[in-house]
Amino acid sequence: MKPIKAGLLGFGTIGTGVIKVIQNNAAVIEQRLGRSIQLARVVDLDITTDRGVALETGVLSDDAQGLLNDPEIDVVIELIGGYEPARTFVLQALNNHKHVVTANKALLALHGEELLRAADDNGVTLMFEAAVAGGIPILASIRENLCANQFSGVYGILNGTCNYILTRMTDNEEDFASVLGDAQKLGYAESDPTFDIEGIDTAHKLSILVSMCFGTWIDFDQIYTEGITRISALDIEFASQLGYQVKLLAIGKLDNGSIEARVHPTMVRNNYPMADVSGVFNAIRLNGDFVGPVLLHGGGAGMEATASAVMGDVMHIARSITSGANTFAPSLGYTPVAITRLPVKAMDDLVGRYYLRFIVEDSPGVLAKISTILGDFGISINSMIQPDEMFESDVEGILPIVMMTHEAREKNVRQALEKIEALPIIKEQCLLIRIEDKLD
């Protein structure tokens, strides 16, 4: 049987990994598909750098149009990243009736609806397992193995860079800035780490998970996004004293017909499996009504894990083409007509428990002033720490105070913090970390 022909757009780290999988695992791929996969064209603007993989003469070029218009190519693999020209190329490939595999979460988060409609209109598929949690087969699990379930919640540690930084801050009591510098030197964080540390990369991935779990389109700006830049070694230490780890969590919930979609630092109890996800690893916890809780854990980024996911999609497509039916499971796991646009809950309406950290003047009546304002807004304090030793400040007479609340409404917490911050005894902006108690 003649090979399935693939064209690769983007010969960067992941592209190099894809070529390695195709070359190193050619035999097992053929045993599993009954035919081989031939990388017919590889396109990149840089066609001179040696990436350590050999390509047949004539395969590598800078001619994207040649690839997109080549009638021999069945599947286009888009690994350029970013919005443009990736969006234009993917649309062009779909309109030329080519299947597309991409790892581009930013593109999907902002233009997914347009791209998936184009795939549907052209009778081809768009697959993106590598876009969420790299090598962890989370999208295929939602789309296929778990598709008989209604999901009530999805929780993810989806950014290896942030998880690496938070783990080092926890294990070695290091500061955010110094760990970030090291992560950049080690190649874990980009030279511009904004998308990672500000939670944007995690939110891109959450938008895909929310659509797939709940069958809804969600606009990217409907996802509340807060990164880890304000978390200090002090907060990590307090969290640990209280029996928690701080994780950057993506949270999607279906609650009475509306969606919660948020990314923020979150306190996770030490005895929950998500608390043990350390370093650059990713994990996703799903709640299905019949299967119950499921936790998937593994490599969320990097050349090998991501290339594994890309090639899983390419082989899935190759099998469908080979079967002759040329039909595919819908990309989001719902038939396109069934996908709705559910309302997204405002953050003000969130109800949960909160960690509040204040840096205050050490003077009589400080606690009373803070707790009075919290009480005025109906916020009840569950526990409190006022350390006398662990805080080092250049300024004499300054202390941290930490309070854990009982369940409260976010709007009330924010209004209370605004009032508290206006008090002269408050020396820094207060820090709020949400607590997630339902991750057992």
Give the nearest distance from C-beta 204 to ligand HSE in angstroms. 8
Within residues 196-235, the interface with ligand HSE by CB under 6 A covers: 196, 201
- Cα-atom radius of gyration of the chain, to the nearest Å? 24
Give the nearest distance from C-beta 256 to ligand HSE in angstroms. 32
Which of residues 129 and 196 has its CB atom nearest to ligand HSE in the complex?
196
Contact 205, 156 (CB under 8 A): yes
- Amino acid making up residue 140: A
Tell which one of 116, 301, 305, 360 touches ligand HSE (CB under 6 A): 301
Which of residues 250 and 366 has its CB atom nearest to ligand HSE in the complex?
250
CA distances from 438 to 138, 217, 260, 266, 354 (A): 20, 25, 14, 12, 14
Contact segment (CB under 6 A) with ligand HSE among 86-94, 154-162, 226-234, 246-254 equals: 154-162
Strand stretches in 158-290, DSSP E: 224-225, 244-255, 258-269, 281-288
Q: Which two tokens stand for residue 72?
A: 């021999």
* Separation CA 399–CA 191 (nearest Å): 35
Give the nearest distance from C-beta 138 to ligand HSE in angstroms. 13
Which of residues 7 and 193 has its CB atom nearest to ligand HSE in the complex?
193
Q: Which 3 state secondary structure label does DSSP give 226?
A: coil
Contact segment (CB under 6 A) with ligand HSE among 44-52, 60-68, 79-87, 159-167 equals: 159-167
Give the nearest distance from C-beta 43 to ligand HSE in angstroms. 21
- Quick note: the x/- pattern for ligand HSE over 110-149, rule CB under 6 A, is ----------------------------------------
Which of residues 115 and 301 has its CB atom nearest to ligand HSE in the complex?
301
Contact 154, 284 (CB under 8 A): yes
Q: Which 3 state secondary structure label does DSSP give 99?
A: strand
* Separation CA 364–CA 358 (nearest Å): 15
Q: Give one DSSP letter per residue of 326-362, joined into a string.
A: -----TTSS-GGG-B---B--GGG-EEEEEEEEEEE-
Contact 217, 338 (CB under 8 A): no
Which of residues 196 and 410 has its CB atom nearest to ligand HSE in the complex?
196
Give the nearest distance from C-beta 5 to ligand HSE in angstroms. 28
User: Active site includes 98?
Assistant: no
Nearest 5°: CA angle at 297, between 295 and 302? 150
**Cross-strand bridge partners of residue 356:** 403, 432
Q: Which two tokens stand for residue 132?
A: 């969420």
Contact segment (CB under 6 A) with ligand HSE among 157-165, 330-338, 344-352, 424-432 equals: 157-165
* Total interface residues for ligand HSE by CB under 6 A: 7
Tell which one of 92, 104, 161, 225 touches ligand HSE (CB under 6 A): 161
Tell which one of 15, 153, 160, 265 touches ligand HSE (CB under 6 A): 160
Within residues 63-82, the interface with ligand HSE by CB under 6 A covers: none
Give the nearest distance from C-beta 161 to ligand HSE in angstroms. 3
Q: Which two tokens stand for residue 70?
A: 């080549």
Give the nearest distance from C-beta 160 to ligand HSE in angstroms. 4
Q: Of 205, 247, 253, 345, which is the active-site residue?
A: 205
Which of residues 2 and 185 has its CB atom nearest to ligand HSE in the complex?
185
Sheet-wide strand order for 4-9: 60-61, 37-43, 4-9, 75-78, 99-102, 126-127
Contacts of 114 (CB under 8 A, 6+ apart): 91
* Cα of 339 vs its chain's centroid, Å: 22
Tell which one of 159, 225, 287, 405 touches ligand HSE (CB under 6 A): 159
* Separation CA 423–CA 417 (nearest Å): 10
Contact segment (CB under 6 A) with ligand HSE among 43-51, 153-161, 227-235, 314-322 equals: 153-161
* Separation CA 373–CA 329 (nearest Å): 54
Which of residues 215 and 300 has its CB atom nearest to ligand HSE in the complex?
300
Which of residues 301 and 318 has its CB atom nearest to ligand HSE in the complex?
301
Give the nearest distance from C-beta 223 to ligand HSE in angstroms. 16
Note the residues at the interface with ligand HSE (CB under 6 A): 159-161, 196, 201, 300-301
Provide the annotated active-site residues: 205
